[in-house]
């Protein structure tokens, strides 16, 4: 009888451990971070990096000059017409609790969302208003999951100071960032959903950081750990946009410049799921409303579903011969 009981306990423990490893158990909403509106720290992190590294501004200006020339010389158009750029992705999972240790399936759901959004295959693209219909075609980018690196840590949450990217500070060092897009899933603090490093930054910190509960898509993998309003994988779509040289659509200033010619000026960030917002910026005649459904705004996941053609050109330019991410695309 004792042997039977012991065997039963072992079997129960085995199935329990498998369930945790697969991370299919739902997490109580009380345990998830509370985030009332989207917040990305990419611009703030860039300001800190510029202050710490005087050479960064020079490198970024050179990238800006290269981007303009690659678009003007039709190099970007030739690139888009002739190749599909495969981007290998390494996902680094930092976890303190089981719910933060997101499953392989949840991670794959994020890769699937990136491919749909960047290739223009997302189903909600049909919701694009008529005035922006010319900006609804995808472009030849394919994200391929190359590896998943996991590490249990003692850190309760992580600040946007790149510590999660450094093994010396309890994080995970990036894997060959010259040839891979590194993404970190962790319990990001300060009510942040994510942040990314722009081209021109140091290789040792290159990549994208995403809150674990905003990593992936609930609709593609219902068994995952997700936070409401940010459960469609669009945080990564937004942050990878930064990694591919896109700015926030309002230019991080009142009626600021996002360095893209075909995005309407925005007075500031938009949140939630807004209706039609008329252009209120001065000296504007080309547009009548803001492009609130753009991935580089701050709306909820379910209400962002578009990159403009100008944004696509800008992103593709970084992969052109001599561009800052040319080696990655080879």
Catalytic residues: 239
How far, in Å, CA of 43 to CA of 48, rounded? 9
Residue 16 tokens read as: 């329990």
Distance CA 313, CA 307 (A): 10
Q: d(Cα 206, Cα 327) in Å, to the nearest integer?
A: 14
Please report how the helices 54-72 and 309-317 are oriented relative to each other, as an axis angle in degrees rounded to 10: 120
* 72 alpha-carbon distance from chain centroid: 27
Neighbours of 135 (CB within 10 A): 19
Which of the 8 DSSP states describes residue 84?
A: -
DSSP 13-59: HHHHHHHHHHT-SPPPGGGS---SS--B-HHHHHHHHHHH-HHHHHH
Largest Cα separation within the chain, whole Å, is 85
**Residue 231 to residue 86: CA distance in whole angstroms:** 25
Cα–Cα dist 315/188, whole Å = 26
| β-bridge mates for residue 205, sequence order | none
Cα angle 285, 287, 291; round to 5: 150
């Amino acid at each position: 009888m004792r042997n039977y009981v012991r065997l039963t306990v072992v079997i129960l423990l085995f199935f329990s451990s498998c369930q945790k490893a697969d991370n299919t158990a739902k997490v109580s909403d009380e345990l998830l971070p509370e985030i009332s509106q989207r917040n990305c720290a990419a611009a703030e992190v860039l300001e800190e990096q510029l202050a710490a590294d005087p050479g960064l501004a020079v490198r970024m200006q050179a990238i800006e000059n290269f981007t303009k020339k690659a678009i003007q010389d039709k190099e970007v158009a030739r690139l888009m017409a002739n190749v599909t750029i495969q981007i290998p992705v390494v996902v680094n999972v930092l976890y303190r609790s089981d719910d933060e240790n997101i499953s392989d399936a949840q991670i794959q759901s994020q890769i699937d969302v990136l491919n749909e959004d960047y290739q223009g295959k997302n189903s909600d693209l049909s919701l694009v208003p008529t005035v922006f219909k010319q900006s609804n075609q995808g472009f030849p980018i394919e994200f391929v999951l190359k590896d998943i690196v996991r590490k249990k840590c003692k850190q309760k949450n992580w600040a946007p100071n790149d510590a999660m990217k450094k093994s010396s500070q309890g994080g995970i060092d990036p894997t060959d960032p010259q040839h891979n897009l590194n993404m970190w899933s962790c319990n990001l603090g300060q009510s942040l959903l994510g942040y990314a490093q722009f081209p021109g930054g140091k290789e040792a910190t290159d990549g994208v950081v995403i809150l674990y509960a905003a990593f992936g898509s609930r609709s593609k993998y219902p068994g995952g750990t997700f936070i409401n309003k940010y459960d469609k994988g669009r945080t990564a779509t937004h942050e990878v946009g930064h990694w591919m040289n896109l700015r926030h659509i309002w230019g991080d200033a009142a009626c600021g410049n996002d360095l893209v010619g075909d995005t309407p000026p925005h007075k500031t960030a938009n949140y939630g799921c807004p209706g039609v917002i008329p252009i209120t910026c001065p000296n504007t005649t080309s547009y009548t409303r803001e492009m609130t459904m753009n991935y580089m705004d701050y709306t909820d996941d379910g209400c962002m579903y578009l990159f403009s053609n100008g944004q696509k050109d800008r992103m593709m330019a970084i992969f052109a011969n001599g561009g800052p991410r040319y080696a990655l695309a080879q």
